[in-house]
Amino acid sequence: MTTQNQGLFIAFEGGDGAGKSTQASLLAAALESRGHTVLRTREPGGTPIGEKLRSLVLDHGHGHIDARTEALIFAASRAAHATQVIRPALEDGTVVLSDRYIDSSVAYQGAGRNLGADAVRTLNNWATDELHPDLTVLLDVEPAIGRQRRTAGEAVEDRMESEADEFHCRIREAFLALAQSAPETYLVLPAHQAVEELSAQILARVTTLLDAVPPLELAP
Ligand code: TYD
C-alpha cells in the first residue's frame, strides 16, 4: 500500500487480449486532463534491464524455459521496476498505471505453470519489498474471446499467448480468486463491455480514490 506517500498505484490485470493497454491509456489521458501527473508503465519491462528480461522470457527461440526460471525472470524484472521506477514515482506524487504486476505472476506462473500461488506470491513480495497496488483493475475475459481479439490483428503470439486455452482458463480462475480474496482493492469488470463503458467505470473508481489521497506537502 502507498498510504505513507501521496501517489496512487493502479495495476491493470487480466488475460491476454482483455484490453488492458487501451484502458490504461484512456485512464492516463483522463487523469492528465484533470492535472494529475501520470506514469504509464508495463511488465515485464518498464526499465532497460526489464525490457531485456521481457524479450528473454516472451520471445520464442531461447529454447525451453522451465517454470521456476520463468517465474524468477518475471520477478527480477519486477524487482527492478518496483525499486527503480514505481516507488520513486509514487514518492513524487505520481499516479502510476502499470500494465500487469504481481497478480500476473501468481496467475500465470502460480496457476498456469502450477508453481502454486503461495510460493509465487512470497517470491514477489520479497522482490518488490511488499509494494502493492492501491487498486487492481481486473478485466475479465473469456480465453476464447481473448484469443480471437489477439489474433484479429494477425500479431504473432508470444510464448504465453500460444499456450492452450486450458492454460488460459486456469489463469482466468486464478485472477478471479485473487480479486475475491481482497475485494476492497479490486475493480473487476467483464472485458466484453464497450470501451467507453469500461473506461467510465474505471475513472469513477479512481476518482474516488484520488479524492481520498491527501495533497502533497510542499517544502516551505
Ligand atoms: P504482453 O505482450 O504484455 O501481453 P498483454 O498485452 O496481454 O499484457 O505480454 C505479457 C505476457 O507475459 C502475457 O502473456 C502474460 C505474461 N506474464 C506472465 O506470465 N507473468 C508475469 O508476471 C507477467 C508480468 C506477464
Ligand 1 pocket mutation pick from 12, 16, 60, 150 by most atoms within 8 angstroms of CB: 16
Taking the C-alpha atoms of residue 97 and residue 21, their distance in angstroms, rounded to an integer, is 10
Q: Please, which pLDDT band fits residue 2 given cuts at 50, 70 and 90?
A: very low
Asked if residue 220 is part of any domain, the answer here is no
67 lies in some domain: yes
Residue 117 lies in a domain: yes
DSSP code at position 159: T
The pLDDT assigned to 116 comes to: 98
Whether 4 shows a pLDDT value over 90: the answer reads no
Inside any domain, residue 48: yes
Q: What is the mean pLDDT of residues 34-59?
A: 94
Specify the residue for cell string 469513477: 204
| 127 contacts 78 by C-beta, under 8 angstroms | yes
Q: Is the pTM of this model over 0.75?
A: yes
Q: Please report whether residue 118 resides in a domain.
A: yes
CATH number at residue 22: 3.40.50.300
Q: What is the pLDDT of residues 166-198, one digit of tens each?
A: 999 999 999 999 999 999 999 999 999 999 999
User: Whose CA is closest to 104, among 145, 132, 131, 74?
Assistant: 74
Residue 34 sits in which domain range? 4-212
How sure is the predictor about 216, in pLDDT bands with cuts at 50, 70 and 90?
low
If one counts the domains in the chain, the total is 1
**Interval 62-120: pLDDT, tens:** 889 999 999 999 999 999 999 999 999 999 999 999 999 999 999 999 999 999 999 99
Q: Which protein residues touch ligand 1 with a CB less than 6 Å away?
A: 16, 20-21, 43-44, 58, 74, 99-100, 104-105, 108-109, 158, 160-161
Percent of the chain with pLDDT over 90: 78
Instruction: Give the model's pLDDT for residue 219.
Output: 58
In a domain, 203, yes or no: yes
In the reported structure, the alpha carbon of residue 220 is separated from the centroid of ligand 1 by a whole-number distance in angstroms of 44
Reference 97, options 172, 203, 218; nearest CA is 203
Residue 33 confidence (pLDDT) above 60: yes
Query: In this structure, is residue 219 part of a structural domain?
Result: no
What are the backbone angles phi and psi of residue 43, rounded to the nearest 5°? -130, 150
Q: Is the pLDDT of residue 208 over 90?
A: yes
Q: Domain for residue 37, yes or no?
A: yes
Contact between residue 60 and residue 117 where contact means Cβ atoms under 8 Å apart: no
Give yes or no for residue 147 having a pLDDT over 60.
Answer: yes
- Measured CA to CA in angstroms, residue 48 lies from 26, 42, 52, 123, 207 at distances of 25, 12, 7, 22, 32
